[in-house]
Amino acid sequence: MFLDTPDITPYRAGTDGLAYVHTFHSGRPGPHVCINALTHGNEICGAWAVAALLDEGVRPTAGTLSLSFANVEAFSRFDRNNPEATRWVDEDMNRVWDEATLDGPRQSQELARAREMRAFFDTVDFLLDLHSMHTPGPALGLCGATAGGLDFARRLGVPEYLVIDAGHSAGKRLRDYAGFGDEGNPRQALLVECGFHFEHAAVVMAHRASRRFLDATGACPGLCADAPFPDVKAVRIVDAVTIRHPEFLFTRDWESMDSVPHAGTVIAYDGDTPVTTPCDDCVLVMPAPERYRLPGMTAVRLGRREHGDGASA
Ligand SMILES: [Zn+2]
């Protein structure tokens, strides 16, 4: 288990009055690009990648570059002996980004931070949101459901696997906030699940995805030494299984990106209700471990492979 965390307290002040948000202007025309870490407080790979860019003094040669840490309150409570406990303080910060929730009366630690950061994200043209996963599996780029999001992710070429999805019924993700989730909007976001939370490979992927993003968006051309993956594979989500019953059991220990050959195969029971695969060669994306299987949460997302021309397999 890799549980080392970077010290981000030197970055508390920020550059423009917003804590833990650093913005650098090149003085030349170009987009505002942002790499964000710690939407979830225990997803330490992104914190390492963003801290490294700050430590190295990376600056844009075109446009504007921002480097941000989101749920710093949850991260500040990170405990090596209980690393899962600090995903959030009050609620999932990646489910609060719909306008009605942001404008509404509800209060939480995460909503307060989201409301504080909202005007900042409104100015971002290209966003890379760095995450990691509950379970082992290959790194995944979550590119949203728009054609523009998929094109953008393919242009980055890292990671190798893309997931085309509209998000969760439990609330909007940052990657879908404002223009990022709208078809035809030129603003784009990619959420990268860099690997299992507590493996060093996730940190390596977070560095690689960050540098590739800065290279491909034109903010820092040549920063990434690694070539993009030549054959990025995409899976389109056709169903998100939201848990209804306190007892939700998978029929076996599925791993992320496992596939099931036949449509109609039972993969889980939600109480007494069987959960079946909706298509042949169905891909199981990030099945939730037992501790995260609670009513209202997403148990697993189910996908269909998609070829480069955009046609479903
Ligand atoms: Zn996350």
The domain locations on the chain are 9-216, 235-306
133 CA to middle of ligand 1, Å?
A: 6
41 CA to middle of ligand 1, Å?
A: 8
CA angle 276, 234, 118 (to 5 degrees): 95
Look at residue 308 in the predicted model and tell me its pLDDT.
58
49 CA to middle of ligand 1, Å?
A: 15
* Segments of 151-265 assigned E as strands: 161-164, 188-196, 233-242, 248-250, 258-260
Q: In this predicted model, what pLDDT tens digit does every residue of 227-269 receive, in sequence order?
A: 899 889 999 999 999 999 999 999 999 999 999 999 999 999 9
Grade residue 309 by pLDDT with cuts at 50, 70 and 90: very low
202 CA to middle of ligand 1, Å?
A: 12
Which residues are 58's β-sheet partners? none
44 CA to middle of ligand 1, Å?
A: 10
93 CA to middle of ligand 1, Å?
A: 9
95 CA to middle of ligand 1, Å?
A: 11
| Cα–Cα distance for residue pair 249/245, rounded to 1 Å | 10
Half-sphere exposure of 243 (CA within 13 A, CB side): 23
**AA letter at 198:** F
On average, the pLDDT of the chain sits at: 95
194 CA to middle of ligand 1, Å?
A: 9
39 CA to middle of ligand 1, Å?
A: 6
Residue 278's contacts (CB-CB under 8 Å, 6 or more residues apart) are 238, 239, 263, 302
| Cα–Cα distance for residue pair 232/190, rounded to 1 Å | 14
40 CA to middle of ligand 1, Å?
A: 5
Grade residue 312 by pLDDT with cuts at 50, 70 and 90: very low
Q: In this predicted model, what pLDDT tens digit does every residue of 98-148 receive, in sequence order?
A: 999 999 999 999 999 999 999 999 999 999 999 999 888 899 999 999 999
Report the CATH number of the 9-216 domain: 3.40.630.10
Look at residue 225 in the predicted model and tell me its pLDDT.
83
262 CA to middle of ligand 1, Å?
A: 30
25 CA to middle of ligand 1, Å?
A: 28
218 CA to middle of ligand 1, Å?
A: 26
Enter the tokens of residue 28. Answer: 């030349």
DSSP-derived 3-state class of residue 303? strand
158 CA to middle of ligand 1, Å?
A: 17
144 CA to middle of ligand 1, Å?
A: 15
132 CA to middle of ligand 1, Å?
A: 5
Look at residue 307 in the predicted model and tell me its pLDDT.
75
113 CA to middle of ligand 1, Å?
A: 16
CB 275 within 8 A of CB 266: yes
Q: In this predicted model, what pLDDT tens digit does every residue of 191-225 receive, in sequence order?
A: 999 999 999 999 999 999 999 999 999 999 999 88
Q: In this predicted model, what pLDDT tens digit does every residue of 52-102 receive, in sequence order?
A: 999 999 999 999 999 999 999 999 999 999 999 999 999 999 999 999 999
Enter the tokens of residue 49. Answer: 């990648």
43 CA to middle of ligand 1, Å?
A: 6
**AA letter at 128:** L
Q: Sign of the CA dihedral 192, 11, 51, 214?
A: positive
Report the CATH number of the 235-306 domain: 2.40.50.630
CB 284 within 8 A of CB 300: yes
58 CA to middle of ligand 1, Å?
A: 25
Q: How far apart are the first and last CA of the chain?
A: 37
29 CA to middle of ligand 1, Å?
A: 32
| Cα–Cα distance for residue pair 75/83, rounded to 1 Å | 10
- Tokens 């389109």 correspond to 236
Task: List, in sequence order, the alpha helices (H) in 130-270.
Answer: 147-156, 200-216
CB 106 within 8 A of CB 73: no
| Cα–Cα distance for residue pair 137/131, rounded to 1 Å | 13
**CA Rg value for the chain:** 19
131 CA to middle of ligand 1, Å?
A: 4
Nearest 5°: phi and psi at 226?
-85, 140
Look at residue 166 in the predicted model and tell me its pLDDT.
85
DSSP 229: P
Which residues are 196's β-sheet partners? 133
140 CA to middle of ligand 1, Å?
A: 12
CB 41 within 8 A of CB 71: yes
